[in-house]
A and B are shown apart, each in its own frame.
Chain A
Amino acid sequence: MKQQWIEIGHLNDIPKLGSRVVETDSGNIAIFRTSNDQVFALKDRCPHKGGQLSQGIVSGILVACPLHNWKIDLKTGEATAPDKGCTRRYEIKCENGQLWLAL
């Protein structure tokens, strides 16, 4: 299927080191903002037991899952060692503060 860019809001709608979700028909997507205003988008499900990554604590480019503290890399969606697993990531871009998500 063809990818399309959809506007989802403004960078400032997300707190620094925080996350908010975008609801879709196939489940929530978590949008993260780092301390230096990079943004990332991951499926809001930890590869471990499905915890909501959007509820975790963000530091650097990692988010700690609130359920069992798995650390997920925001860039790749992969769990950091020794845990193994990967969550789906989505393309996201920020243009003049507006956030666009590719679906």
Chain B
Amino acid sequence: MKEKLVCIGNGMAGIRTIEELLKIAPDKYDITIFGEEPHVNYNRILLSPVLAGEKKFEEIVLNSEEWYAKNNITLYKGHKVTEVHRLKQTVTTDSGIVTPYDRVLFATGSNAFIIPVSGHHLSGVVGFRDIKDVETMLSKTKTGKHAVVIGGGLLGLEAANGLLKQGMDVTVVHVLDTLMEKQLDKTGANFLKKALEERGLKFLMNAQTESILGEEKVVGIRFKDGKEIPADLVVMAVGIRPNIELAKKARIHCEKGIVVNDTMQTFDPKIYAVGECVQHRNALYGLVAPLFEQAKVCANHLAGLGYSRYQGSVVSTKLKVTGIDVFSAGDFLGNLQTEEIIFQDPSAGIYKKLVIKDNQIKGAVLYGDTVDSAWYFEMMRDSTDISAMRDRVLFGQAHLGDAGHGENRISLMSDETEICGCNGITKGHIIKAITEKKLFTLDEVRLHTKASGSCGSCTGLVEQILAAVVGGDYSTSPKQKPICSCTDATHDEIRETIKKVHLISIEQIMTHLHWKTPNGCASCRPALNYYLLSTFPQETKDDYQSRFVNERVHANIQKDGSFSVVPRMFGGITTPNELRAIADVADKYQIPTVKVTGGQRIDLFGIKKKDLLGIWADLNKAGLVSGHAYGKSLRTVKTCVGSEWCRFGTQDSTQMGIELEKMTWGSWTPHKFKMAVSGCPRNCAEATIKDFGVVGVDSGWELHVGGNGGIKVRVTDLLCKVKTQEEVLEFAGAFMQLYREEAHYLERTAPWIERVGLEYVRNALLNDEKQRKELYERFLNSQRFSQKDPWEERVNGLDAHEFKPLADLKGVAQ
């Protein structure tokens, strides 16, 4: 027989937990849900737009009656649970229903705090918590004129804005002299107050309410200083209190909220709690992102899986007042140990402040320009070292070289504007998917629309759209992401385990780390294969079926299924013989397109898979080998002419390029790896946008790292200056090895360096000569196993099945 689960509360946290539970254990429980409100689950974050008349109630419903029915959930709407009897294991309601349980989930949420001044019970005094409050307010907008909102916090200002839009004369009363003091510093609050005053809101700051006036209906408010103002409606938005009455009555341990551990379990092991009623590690949360994280963890334990833990959340806030952009996160006030970076332009209405400690962002306040909020928030959560971009960080991500993506403000964009250039997804598509499919997270939007799922450069825009549609406190992705949905392990955890346990096959990793799928997927298998090869190059057998087609076939697949082939030309130098061989092959196999690549090589396009072996055999005869233009590996070393011919050249860049390429070809890397060598600071080989760039100067060589010329242009950081060719080779090998051993699979050097910080790389290579030499040694050792021409191996018979059909039934049937 199924166990019985009773969920007390029909709001966002409770229902999210049930949804997560149904995903992983659909048949474990008979589920009963009690909700005090006479409605299905709706999106409480969007009450403000309903009040402002921008949305209707039906538009904010999250789970329809059909959803409850389809999942065999017994729903009691409008029933208040009055008792949880822990000995008998039953739940009783005010309507007399008694339901037995095996597990209870408390998701009772919170109540608006009503200041107990005289007159607080009068008709026309409301909180701002549920749809009933909104309906009461909306009915008053038809008859009354004056509205007073007590409380100048997030909720109060959203209520005031809504009432103003409904045509009321609105005064916000705040007990302090700073609005939204929980989210804003004084300067930010002043910007906000000024903007709201321009819209017509009135403010009474430092005002203490003494009593609410009226006999049955409210007519006004009196303050402690004796001042009185008229009011037909009073909204109390001074805060919320966790709704823990029922839990207390059942003698479950409560402090400010219902106390839970990291598995969301209360002091009664049969009883769990999630949401605003919960106190976890002394913190209470009122935003949706942490509640959803709690829901996921709680579902994991209700399902009996027992491995997930909730460890608290970093939260950020956005104000949902259309046209006013406010963002705040973390420790936005700072203290004696922190520094601040500030930008302020009062006439443009822009204020940005970052609170910094030890070169990491600890908090942020943004007013007027919140385009980069997601970026700052991510760096804050990831403790990114910002020392290299301190002077530019306030100007936003766009000023760090993320060029060429056009408009940055989604509110100004039309629905036809293309957001995701890779997949051709417009703003309209994304909004439609979010509203129709009720999406809340970036991952969900990616799954349903593919937007930002390819190159990722539009992630910030997609997050903004999400914030605009579902409300500011949309769920953010957890800090430590598993590498794919086949596992809960992160890239770093997998690498560590491989090394520590000495795993040498994909099956071993999957067994050891409890993979959820039988053979992983197209995302994790290539990553695991790479991690094994780069950790134990000698012992690991390359898993051919875990490689993307290009690395399996050693050519680049094209859109029509044909392949392209690029022979290696060390340092970009070729000979008449090589060119003749290429020309002969192009003639013999009727190759339709011959093109010079961006990396100074020759690319042959439109080759049938069956012809690959013949072409390689011919190219091999002229001494040409695979150029690895298809791999997550060393691509090319681009060079300029250098001192041999150029009148400006200070160093022999072509020779240096040849040496570098001879040393590094054939090496597998987390992502493609490009190099260039310029013979003088004019830098004709464009070495400063390569993964490893070398620039000759009169006295030696400058070494540059972490550049990128692709989606997101990034100029290299200068690593150091060296004198000799041997040093260049040693640093190149050591740098590549550090990247190979520590970057995540499919992470280019640019984002890797931004993640770990340039200082980290400098410390490893410059300050620790022993470590550098060891890295170099390991690189050379690994090359002993990987510097084999894959074309020659296949011409000699390796993987023969790959290049011919299983059977030819042409003319046989059909």
Residues of A within 8 A of B (CB): 1, 4, 6, 8-9, 13-18, 20-26, 28, 31, 35-36, 49-52, 55-60, 62, 64, 66-67, 69, 71, 82, 101, 103
Contacts and interface: CB of A to CB of B under 8 A. Distances in A.
A82 B434 CA distance: 13
B400 interface: no
Nearest to B610: A23
B522 A25 contact: no
B559 A103 contact: no
B197 interface: no
Contacts of B547: 57
A55 B809 contact: no
A51 B549 CA distance: 12
A17 B699 CA distance: 55
B72 interface: no
Interface in B443-480: 447-450
B806 interface: yes
Contacts of B592: none
B801 interface: yes
B337 interface: no
A28 B362 CA distance: 58
Contacts of A24: 809-810, 812-814
A13 B52 CA distance: 67
A21 B264 CA distance: 52
The prevalent SS among residues of B at the interface is: loop
Given A35-B518, A57-B545, A4 B813 contact: yes
B807 interface: yes
B549 A56 contact: yes
B544 A15 contact: yes
Contacts of A9: 806-807
A59 B814 contact: no
B805 A23 contact: yes
B519 A17 contact: yes
A102 to B, nearest CB: 10
A6 B670 CA distance: 44
B38 interface: no
Contacts, number: 105
A52 to B, nearest CB: 5
B706 interface: no
12 contacts: A13-B806, A15-B544, A23-B807, A23-B810, A31-B806, A35-B518, A35-B519, A51-B559, A51-B561, A55-B549, A57-B548, A62-B521
Contacts of B525: 57, 59
Which of the listed residues A14, A24, A50 has the most CB atoms from chain B within 10 Å of its own CB? A24
Given A6-B809, A18-B545, A82-B448, 8 more contacts: A20-B805, A20-B806, A22-B805, A23-B807, A25-B811, A50-B561, A57-B526, A103-B813
**4 closest cross-chain pairs (CB), A and B:** A64-B522, A20-B806, A57-B522, A55-B549
A52 B812 contact: no
B805 A26 contact: no
Contacts of B449: 82
Given A66-B548, A67-B557, A59 B806 contact: no
A16 B545 contact: yes
Contacts of B544: 15
A32 B19 CA distance: 35
Which of the listed residues B544, B545, B560 has the most CB atoms from chain A within 10 Å of its own CB? B545
A101 B626 CA distance: 37
B801 A20 contact: yes
Nearest to A20: B806
B667 interface: no
Nearest to A49: B559
Contacts of B808: 22-23
A42 B609 CA distance: 19
A21 to B, nearest CB: 5
Interface string B775-806: 00000000000000000000000000100011
A103 B809 contact: yes
B511 interface: no
A49 B424 CA distance: 14
Nearest to A10: B806
A9 B804 CA distance: 13
A18 to B, nearest CB: 5
B453 to A, nearest CB: 9
A19 to B, nearest CB: 9
Contacts of A103: 809, 812-814
Nearest to A103: B813
Nearest to A64: B522
B814 A26 contact: yes
B806 A52 contact: no
Interface string B615-656: 000000000000000000000000000000000000000000
Nearest to A52: B561
Given A17-B545, A51-B561, A59 B519 contact: yes
A56 B522 contact: yes
Contacts of A66: 548-549, 557
Contacts of A71: 522
A62 B611 CA distance: 29
